[in-house]
Amino acid sequence: MNTTVVILGLTMNYINAAMIHTFNKHDVSTAEFFMNPRDILFIHLVLNDLLLLTTSILLFVFTFTLNTVYVSICLVFLLPTILTAHNTPLNLAVMAAECYISVCVPLRYRNICTVKRTYIVIGIIWSISSLTMLLDLIILFATEPLQFFQSRVFCDRDNVFRSSLSINRRDATNILFLVVVWITLFYTYFRILFVAKAAASNAKKARNTILIHGCQLLLCMTVYVQPMVTNTLTLFFPVSYIFFVTFIIFQILPRFLSPIIYGLRDKTFRKYFIRTVMCTITIKIHPNKRMMLP
């Protein structure tokens, strides 16, 4: 199980790293990507998934190798995993809003969707997610004795943030995020749908993008029902296998779709991404023939 998770994680992170490298490498990327709010949001999503996969896979390997770890060490890997998991649906909602503005109010797009405001929104996303984690930490330190942080536990969220206050806070926040993000997606999709009836090609593309956002968000939101699904399945199957299967479905699978759905649909980005991957393969196979591909 560890081998499978590590292979999938390394594959996913290689794809994400190749996309980030593509984003930074080419001279044209500075003009076309860094000045485009849509691409900035996409790269932020890729970076967020890269961090999420790295910390969650390390957490998975440590947990199944050592079985139990100290609470203080568990927190080092658990906090960024939860934080980045909260960022994903918020980032998708902002990307949907950006599509709506570009189609429904195109004359005001350049005034509303600026690069500066895009970075401010990204900062707000991290601030909101960090605030939820800060509340959990305050509850943890207020309800648990100091000896708890020196004890060993199976490194899972419910085993560390086990207070009923943390559980209720998590459920309330998840419901709030779910409602806000889905309202955003439905509103933007139907507004774009009406515009798309005018047969504008960019509106149809934006409508399809919103649908993809919905599918991606549905997969990402399944992480909120993971505890309930896991607790139900433990009644019938061994815990280790259930944890492995739910980890693949809820954590890794949604991250496989992000670069494929968003990055490779863009013709400019796809061209440079394929060139980057092919150059990497050529260098590895023919180290003395680095100029084989332009």
59 falls within a domain: yes
Residue 153, strand partner residues: 69
Joined tokens for residue 160: 């560390």
Q: Which of 200, 19, 192 is nearest to 96 (CA)?
A: 192
Confidence at 127, pLDDT banded by 50, 70, 90: very high
Quote the pTM value.
0.77
Domain limits for position 1: 1-285
CATH of the domain at 28: 1.20.1070.10
294 falls within a domain: no
Residue 20, strand partner residues: none
**Number of structural domains found in the chain:** 1
26 falls within a domain: yes
Of residues 73 and 23, which shows the higher confidence score?
73
Confidence at 29, pLDDT banded by 50, 70, 90: very low
For residue 292, pLDDT over 60 is answered with no
Joined tokens for residue 76: 């080092």
Confidence at 290, pLDDT banded by 50, 70, 90: very low
pLDDT in tens, 4-26: 878 887 877 777 777 777 666 65
**Sequence-separated (6 or more) residues with CB below 8 Å from residue 147:** none
134 falls within a domain: yes
pLDDT in tens, 36-48: 788 788 888 888 8
253 falls within a domain: yes
pLDDT in tens, 186-244: 888 778 777 766 555 555 666 666 676 667 667 666 666 666 666 677 777 776 677 77
For residues 81 and 59, the answer to whether their CB atoms sit within 8 Å is: yes
292 falls within a domain: no
Q: Spell out a b/e string for 129-152, using b for 16 or more CB atoms within 10 Å of the CB, else e.
A: beebbeebeebbeeebeeeebeee
pLDDT in tens, 246-287: 777 777 777 776 666 655 666 666 666 666 666 554 444 444
Average predicted confidence (pLDDT) for the chain:
76
Confidence at 126, pLDDT banded by 50, 70, 90: very high
How far is residue 81's CA from residue 2's CA, in Å, rounded to a whole number?
A: 18
